Amino acid sequence: MYVNCRVVPWLSDFQFRYVLSKIKSSDINDTREAALWLQIWLCRVNVSKIPRAIVCTYELLLARVQQSTQAMALAVMRFISLVSSEDQDRNRGGFAVPIYSLSRSAGLPDWMGDLRNDIAHGSVPSRQFLEVAYAWAMRWLVEFWERNTDETLPKHDFGNPSSVKWNSDAVSIVDDSLKDSIRHYSVTHAFAEHLVDQASKCFHKSVPNYLKSIFRSFQKFRKLNNLVLAVFFNLPKEGAIFWANAWIGAYKAVSLKEEHFLKEFVDENDLASFPWRHCLEQVCLKCNPSSSLLVSLLELFQPHMPDKLLSTVIGICHSDCSLPHNTSDITRSDLKWQLDRTVRWWRIPLGASLTKKNASTSCQDQGFPHEDPPVGCQIGQDKDQQRQCEIQDTLQPVPLHAGGYRKGKG
């Protein structure tokens, strides 16, 4: 349990400043993107847990995107009301204070108090007057954003890898970031992009000393697999292909007790917990089907796959790796599991036959995010046994066995 910590809806310090840059931009597309980010934040936590300035920023940006006079008037009125009454709501006094006094104490000009009353109780002001109020409100809100940005952001912006000086002095910064439950995501992806950009300096399998030091930091905090997965996210860049092959070679060297220039940073625990299915997904989506990465991954993490089945899987990738339903009937008969157009084949345990007749086995059951339609696995069951499984599933949860599918009784 975290002590003296506050849950915030933004992922990292960089994301907070990134949204601020979009807010300050005059481009309508940036304004629309900032409004979308703020909408996501408002969905993550209760509105009462978010500063009122952020809520007002979202409503004003949304009115700007909608290009509506009525929406702009309501957003300006909400800004004046929320900002002015914040202290009164916090203190919960026994009597109401006039809006003029509240707005003046919040640092708003007197004319904004009149504007709020006109919108609430009179006629809607002109568009030009609302634009002036909008500009003044945004300047007030940007000051709030910048004041908090200066206090929260570190000196190193991991959202922009080119601005970070990756050298031996960066090891302590990486250590501090990897300890943090949120910032480790930013430093991992930033360093992965740096590796991809600097791949040409390591083509002769000579790793600079500062890279070795940072690799040891990831190894110490058991984050090396996350770094390798972040490298796969940068496919199909040439540098990402180099590092992906290099790390696969390191894992293979650990498995076969061979030598490799990256072997010192990998151990058997990393090999056992390596997210190879996620890496395989990136290869299938972003690389050429004839890429050697596909074969290397399958040979390393499915070493007992028959040659005929391996060639069939590669043939599927040559046709359509994301929707393998275009394969021929002969190819389908060679596989040990049936292919379904609603499921990406590399997420399904080998040996499982897909069907929608019995117990549900979704990607969430296999350790993946629940984003695919539920499918079932049929393993040697007749219709009566399948029906019995369905009844049992409705009465009690069925334990998962190795491979991520529910074991049948057949």
Distance from C-alpha of 116 to C-alpha of 130, rounded to nearest angstrom: 11
53 burial level (CB within 10 Å; 0-12, 13-18, 19+): buried
Written as one letter, the residue type at 271 is L
Distance from C-alpha of 338 to C-alpha of 355, rounded to nearest angstrom: 8
Nearest CA to 247 out of 222, 268, 269, 225 is that of: 225
Residue at token pair 């972003």: 286
Distance from C-alpha of 228 to C-alpha of 235, rounded to nearest angstrom: 12
Over residues 55-73, the mean pLDDT reads: 93
pLDDT, position 94: 57
176 burial level (CB within 10 Å; 0-12, 13-18, 19+): middle
Q: Is there a contact between 338 and 378 (Cβ–Cβ < 8 Å)?
A: no
Over residues 353-365, the mean pLDDT reads: 41
> For 62-76, 227-241, 277-291, which range has the lowest pLDDT when averaged over its residues?
277-291
Distance from C-alpha of 177 to C-alpha of 181, rounded to nearest angstrom: 8
Determine what percent of the chain is predicted with pLDDT higher than 70.
64
Distance from C-alpha of 217 to C-alpha of 204, rounded to nearest angstrom: 23
Query: At 358, which helix (H) or strand (E)?
Result: strand 353-360
Residues 6+ apart with CB under 8 A from 205: 246, 261
Structure confidence by residue, pLDDT tens digits, 101-127: 666 666 778 888 888 888 888 888 899
Judged against a pLDDT cut of 60, whether residue 265 lies above it is answered with yes
Q: Per mean pLDDT, which of 144-148, 269-273, 277-281, 383-387 is the most reliable?
A: 269-273
Mean pLDDT of the chain: 73
Residue at token pair 């498995």: 255
Token output for 9: 């809806």
Structure confidence by residue, pLDDT tens digits, 179-220: 876 678 878 888 888 888 888 776 667 788 888 899 999 999
Judged against a pLDDT cut of 80, whether residue 354 lies above it is answered with no
Cα atoms in the 13 Å half-sphere on the side-chain side of 76: 32
Structure confidence by residue, pLDDT tens digits, 325-345: 333 443 444 444 444 444 454
pLDDT, position 347: 53
What Rg, from alpha-carbon coordinates, does the chain have?
28
pLDDT, position 393: 46
Q: Is there a contact between 213 and 175 (Cβ–Cβ < 8 Å)?
A: no
Over residues 172-179, the mean pLDDT reads: 82
pLDDT, position 148: 81
Task: Catalogue the long-range contacts made by 391-399 (C-beta closer than 8 Å, 24 or more residues apart).
Answer: 393/359, 393/360, 398/359
Q: Per mean pLDDT, which of 8-17, 83-92, 213-222 is the most reliable?
A: 213-222
pLDDT band at 244 (very low <50, low <70, confident <90, very high): very high
More confident residue, 230 or 355: 230
Distance from C-alpha of 42 to C-alpha of 36, rounded to nearest angstrom: 10
Judged against a pLDDT cut of 50, whether residue 7 lies above it is answered with yes
Handedness of CA 45, 48, 50, 54 (dihedral sign): positive
399 burial level (CB within 10 Å; 0-12, 13-18, 19+): exposed
pLDDT, position 301: 81
Tell me the pTM.
Answer: 0.49
